Chains A and B, each alone.
Chain A
Amino acid sequence: MAENHKAAPMVDEVSDFEVLEIAVRELAIEKGLFSAEDHRRFAEFAHSIGPLPAARLVAKAWLDPDFKKLALEDGFTASKEVGIDWLNPTGFGTPSDYCDLRVLENTPAVHHVVVCTLCSCYPRPILGHSPEWYRTPNYRRRLVRWPRQVLAEFGLQIPAEVEVRVEDSNQKCRFMVIPMRPEGTEGWTEDQLTEIVTRDCMLGVALPHPERKLDDKRPVHKAANPVHGH
């Protein structure tokens, strides 16, 4: 029976690069360049997934026209209402983040999509770390020129009569999108709405859907030969 149970593959080998990463980190900590606690918190911040603060910002904007107005005029202040202080997003300061958040609103006539052709500028305090694909030359080079083709590769077809507006984030402004509130969410609470606003919706490569949540259960296939007694 046990032979049927196969562990997921893993790299069972230590490379010199891995050793170098650890060695340099340990020396930096010993020399007081930063503390182990600082490092851990940055890593924890980078790993954080789950409903993003930006998702709550969108949900609030859907429910409260005054808040939406604030978000569109002053993203920095609106962020504070969802718990994000751009000056201190990780709790101990990340001067690498520029603080001019611009919130773009999708309408029946305009669909926004965000890219950074020059590197990978991203509204990190409110959206977390950028996904791998956002940093690829494939996305960065092609989105500005063939936006509809690239969106189609994400499974998103925008009707011809809707203006696709690419936002190339090349300076100190950071951008996120308020997608349109989907049908089928009438009467929903802020918490319910927050759950369906996933990261990709706020970059403009996907649309929110009332039945699609970030923490949806993955399909489960029952084991044909379950292992007992372990």
Chain B
Amino acid sequence: MSRGHHAEKATGKGDPQCFTGEAGEPKFKVGDRVRIRNLPDIFYTRCQVYTRGAEGVVTVVTHESPAPEDEAWDNVDDPEWFYIVRFKQKDLWDEYPDAYANDTLQTEFSERWLESV
């Protein structure tokens, strides 16, 4: 069984740290306003449906790693930058109460899911 290549790559460095330096320059920076793209996800994704089309702000540029859509199929050759994006709850859920207009939600995306606003 030659299924251990991924674990081997991470040995002594950790995952996602083992992909450091493999994705080039990040396209977005902290403070950038972004929209979540609504890409097809026929096979596998970790981009939540409730964020599709919503606008938010990049709060952390986290690390480089293969996107889950690739990694699920063992493709670890094209790592991307990942970003934590903060949304106003009101921008995710129409019915979110006005009384709590300050409430937010953060979650993480690989670069392919983001576009500049």
Of A145, A161, A172, the contact of B15 (CB 8 Å cutoff):
A172
Bound: A164/B100 CA distance, A: 8
Say whether A118 contacts B104, CB under 8 Å: no
Say whether A99 contacts B17, CB under 8 Å: yes
B5-36 residues at the A interface, CB under 8 angstroms? 6-7, 10, 12-17
Bound: A118/B107 CA distance, A: 11
Chain B residue nearest to A87 in the complex (CB):
B14
Bound: A87/B17 CA distance, A: 11
- Given contact pairs A173-B62, A173-B84, A165 touches B14 in the complex (Cβ within 8 A): no
Say whether A165 contacts B62, CB under 8 Å: no
Bound: A168/B36 CA distance, A: 15
Chain B positions within 8 Å of A163 at CB level: 102-104
Bound: A145/B15 CA distance, A: 30
Q: How many Å from the CB of B16 to the closest CB on chain A?
A: 5
Q: How many Å from the CB of A205 to the closest CB on chain B?
A: 16
Chain A positions within 8 Å of B38 at CB level: none
Chain A residue nearest to B68 in the complex (CB):
A171
Chain B interface secondary structure, helix, strand, loop or mixed?
A: mixed
Bound: A169/B89 CA distance, A: 16
| In the assembled complex, A157 has its CB within 8 A of some CB on chain B | no
| In the assembled complex, A167 has its CB within 8 A of some CB on chain B | yes
Say whether B93 contacts A95, CB under 8 Å: no
Bound: A100/B108 CA distance, A: 12
Q: How many Å from the CB of B71 to the closest CB on chain A?
A: 10
Bound: A163/B108 CA distance, A: 19
Bound: A172/B10 CA distance, A: 13
Chain A interface secondary structure, helix, strand, loop or mixed?
A: loop
Of A102, A145, A160, A165, the contact of B93 (CB 8 Å cutoff):
A145
| In the assembled complex, A136 has its CB within 8 A of some CB on chain B | no
B80-116 residues at the A interface, CB under 8 angstroms? 82, 84, 86, 89, 92-93, 96, 99-100, 102-110
Bound: A98/B109 CA distance, A: 16
Bound: A171/B60 CA distance, A: 13
Bound: A144/B48 CA distance, A: 11
- Given contact pairs A145-B93, A160-B99, A170-B46, A95 touches B7 in the complex (Cβ within 8 A): yes
Bound: A172/B62 CA distance, A: 9
| In the assembled complex, B50 has its CB within 8 A of some CB on chain A | yes
Q: How many Å from the CB of B86 to the closest CB on chain A?
A: 8
Chain B positions within 8 Å of A168 at CB level: 48, 105-108
A86-123 CB mask vs B (1 if < 8 Å, else 0) is 11000000010011101000000000000001100000
Q: How many Å from the CB of B100 to the closest CB on chain A?
A: 6
- Given contact pairs A99-B15, A144-B50, A172-B16, A165 touches B104 in the complex (Cβ within 8 A): yes
Bound: A171/B46 CA distance, A: 7
Give the 5 A-B CB pairs with smallest separation, nearest first: A99-B14, A168-B107, A95-B7, A171-B108, A163-B102
